[in-house]
């Protein structure tokens, strides 16, 4: 069987060598044609269609160690799949040995210490499901099928970011298999340089096998959901959004979305497909406080739909899942913003009006709060001046529509990027965004990351990521 070397060459792997790998594993070794191969190799974004030579469906840390040892011995290209949600398809690579961690999804909650230990293949929903049994939560993202590890290693934000910072600010430790196939702990006490780099530097330093998150009391009942209006109301709705977001307590997170209305049951049939503007809100304090905090949204104008209500926090965490299914073609452009200016709102509306597909969206996420209180050098993620995330999210179904939808996203970005902090979210970068955008995402922390890379992975074993060259 032929595979790819980490330097791009071709390697022949005789059957006896493959058999020796099989003997070291508890999980299955699968290859093209085997049952489960296509499920493992496919990722969320259908624009990515790559074929690893070998896939190991790891069942534990020992399997991960065996795979790293094997990849190093054979000089193989290695890729690591968590939730497979990275839009650039970083989880998969042609000819590589793929470590598919999707069967490692255990979560253990220590409710006294308020810590959750999650295996690296968990999806966000796995963690919320277990922590909410105790009325606890950590900072995770908006779509429950996203993988925890890719999200955390790149920063991570969601409804609780305003209160507790980036997801990665709430990591107390990680278990990591290094390039020399050792299992080590990364925390503020053990290997603090590695810990610093992992919190923003992606999968550059090893294979993370487990993450410990700090938990906080949240819910189980909160106030959250959406109110939507026709897009013709957008000038007033965006004005309302700006005003409310500026005054909002940290318990309240507000998101504005413009898009063609999806065929959701809470929107009347005659609105489906027509342009709407919506405010998505989460108040993570008491439901009574929450209802007061969102009253001005619910009473505003004449909405076409309103599902901003008391509901379980875990339900809110998956409310938008249906809008982001696996298997569409996706292309995003994104920036961090320091504030929302009226001129930005004008351009935001103008480009929303030019959306080319029923699935595309243009979104402003509010994240300002706790993350701004830490120094840029606190961890590799940086971007401590970001208060909003702009995401221009193109999504469509047919390859024939690629050019038109990508052009829409690029045009919108070219006009809106002037409002940026200069930084961007590394986890939202698409496959055609390279070194310059990575540098903008990591800022001044880039040099220290390169040093840490040379200490922990001088031969660049871990390269199918937003790669940092060893310094
Ligand atoms: C629909 C959708 C919604 C999203 N919403 C949010 C959101 O609300 N908030 C937010 O912050 N982000 C969000 N994201 C972005 C998300 O953070 C990234 O896509 C992230 O990469 C997903 O992690 P994953 O494990 O699913 O990724 P994968 O595609 O599996 O992996 C991404 C990268 O991480 C590396 N990696 C994965 N697991 C490991 C591991 N165990 N050890 C070392 N490296 C590893 C991979 O090698 C790869 O380089 C969203 C993405 C999508 C597609």
* Mean per-residue pLDDT, 433-460: 96
CA of 100 to the centre of ligand 1 (A): 13
Question: For a pLDDT cut of 70, what percent of the chain falls above it?
Answer: 100
Task: Select from 294, 324, 314 the least CA-distant residue to 306.
Answer: 294
Binned at pLDDT 50, 70 and 90, residue 297 comes out as very high
- CA 324 to ligand 1: nearest atom: 1
Which pLDDT score is estimated for 445?
Answer: 96
Q: How far is the CA of 110 from the centre of ligand 1 (A)?
A: 25
Q: Determine the pLDDT at residue 39.
A: 97
d(CA 280, CA 224) in angstroms, rounded, equals 8
Q: What number is the average pLDDT over the span 438-457?
A: 96
Torsion of CA 401, 326, 411, 201, to 10 degrees: -140
Please write the tens of the pLDDT for every residue from 29-44.
999 999 999 999 999 9
pTM of the model: 0.98
78-81 and 97-100: which strand pairing? parallel
- Beta strands 97-100 and 54-57, pairing class: parallel
* Ligand 1: residue whose CA is nearest its atom 19: 86
Give the pLDDT confidence of 421-431 residue by residue, as tens digits. 999 999 999 99
Mean pLDDT value of segment 216-221 = 97
Q: Is the CB of 101 under 6 A from ligand 1?
A: yes
Residue with CA at minimum distance from ligand 1 atom 10: 156
Place of tokens 């093209």: 32
143: Cβ below 6 Å to ligand 1? Answer: yes
pLDDT, average across residues 232-243: 98
> For a pLDDT cut of 90, what percent of the chain falls above it?
99
165 lines ligand 1 (CB under 6 A): no
- Please tell me the predicted confidence (pLDDT) of residue 38: 97
Q: State how far the Cα of 275 lies from the Cα of 160, in Å rounded to an integer.
A: 28
Q: What is the DSSP letter of 423?
A: -
Task: Answer yes or no: are the C-beta atoms of 4 and 10 closer than 8 Å.
Answer: yes
Closest CA relative to residue 109, chosen from 127, 84, 93: 127
Banded pLDDT at 216 (limits 50, 70, 90): very high
Per-residue model confidence (pLDDT) at position 306: 98
- What would the mean pLDDT of 199-208 be, rounded to a whole number? 98
Ligand 1 pocket member 44 (CB < 6 A):
yes
Q: What is the mean pLDDT of residues 77-86?
A: 98
Pocket test for ligand 1, best of 39, 90, 145, 151 (most atoms within 8 A of CB): 151
Handedness of CA 462, 466, 469, 471 (dihedral sign): negative
Which of 24, 13, 32 minimizes the C-alpha distance to 64?
24
Handedness of CA 411, 141, 94, 469 (dihedral sign): positive
305 CA → ligand 1 middle, Å: 31
Ligand 1 within 6 A of 90 CB?
yes
Q: Is 157 in the pocket of ligand 1 (CB under 6 A)?
A: yes
Is pLDDT above 90 for 268? yes
State pLDDT tens for residues 381-400.
999 999 999 999 999 999 99
pLDDT band for position 471 (50/70/90)? confident
Kindly indicate the confidence band of residue 96, based on its pLDDT and cuts at 50, 70 and 90: very high
Give the pLDDT mean for 73-86.
98
pLDDT, mean of residues 268-278: 98
| Ligand 1 atom having least distance to the Cα of 83 | 26
Binding site membership of 465 for ligand 1 (Cβ less than 6 Å): yes
CA nearest ligand 1 atom 15, residue:
427
158 CB under 6 A from ligand 1?
yes
Grouping H, G, I as helix, E, B as strand and the rest as coil, residue 161 is helix
Answer yes or no: is the C-beta of 147 below 6 A from any ligand 1 atom. yes
What does the DSSP 8-state code read for residue 351? H
Nearest ligand 1 atom, CA 156: 11
């Amino acid at each position: 069987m032929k595979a790819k070397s980490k330097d791009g060459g071709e390697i022949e792997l005789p059957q006896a060598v493959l058999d020796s790998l099989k003997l070291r594993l508890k999980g299955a070794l699968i290859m093209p044609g085997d049952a489960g191969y296509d499920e493992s190799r496919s990722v969320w974004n259908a624009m990515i269609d790559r074929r690893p030579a070998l896939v190991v469906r790891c069942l534990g840390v020992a399997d991960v160690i065996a795979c790293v040892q094997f990849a190093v011995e054979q000089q193989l290209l290695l890729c690591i799949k968590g939730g497979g949600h990275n839009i650039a398809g970083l989880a998969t690579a042609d000819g590589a040995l793929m470590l598919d961690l999707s069967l490692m999804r255990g979560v253990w909650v220590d409710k006294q210490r308020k810590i959750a230990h999650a295996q690296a293949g968990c999806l966000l929903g796995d963690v919320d499901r277990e922590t909410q049994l105790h009325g606890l939560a950590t900072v995770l993202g908006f779509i429950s099928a996203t993988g925890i590890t890719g999200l955390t290693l790149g920063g991570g934000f969601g409804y609780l970011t305003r209160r507790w910072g980036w997801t990665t600010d709430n990591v107390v430790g990680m278990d990591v298999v290094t390039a020399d196939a050792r299992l080590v702990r990364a925390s503020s006490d053990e290997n603090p340089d590695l810990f610093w780099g992992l919190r923003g530097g992606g999968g550059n330093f090893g294979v993370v096998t487990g993450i410990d998150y700090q938990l906080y009391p949240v819910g189980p009942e909160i106030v959250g959901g959406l109110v939507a209006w026709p897009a013709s109301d957008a000038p007033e709705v965006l004005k309302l959004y700006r005003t409310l977001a500026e005054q909002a307590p940290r318990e309240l997170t507000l998101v504005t979305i413009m898009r063609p209305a999806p065929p959701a049951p809470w929107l009347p049939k005659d609105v489906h497909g027509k342009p709407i503007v919506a405010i998505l809100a989460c108040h993570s304090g008491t439901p009574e406080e929450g209802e007061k905090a969102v009253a001005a949204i619910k009473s505003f104008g004449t909405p076409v739909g309103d599902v901003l209500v008391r509901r379980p926090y875990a339900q809110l965490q998956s409310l938008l899942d249906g809008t982001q299914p696996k298997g569409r073609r996706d292309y995003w452009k994104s920036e961090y913003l320091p504030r929302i200016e009226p001129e930005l709102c004008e351009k935001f509306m103008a480009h929303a009006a030019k959306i080319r597909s029923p699935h595309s969206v243009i979104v402003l996420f509010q994240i300002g709060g706790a993350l701004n209180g830490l120094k840029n050098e606190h961890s590799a993620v940086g971007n401590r001046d970001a208060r909003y995330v702009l995401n221009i999210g193109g999504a469509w179904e047919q390859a024939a529509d690629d050019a038109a939808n990508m052009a829409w996203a690029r045009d919108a970005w070219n006009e809106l990027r002037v409002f940026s902090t200069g930084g961007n979210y590394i986890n939202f970068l698409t496959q055609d965004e390279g070194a310059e955008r990575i540098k903008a995402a990591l800022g001044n922390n880039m040099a220290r990351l390169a040093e840490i890379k040379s200490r922990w992975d001088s031969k660049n074993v871990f390269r199918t990521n937003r790669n940092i060259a060893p310094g």
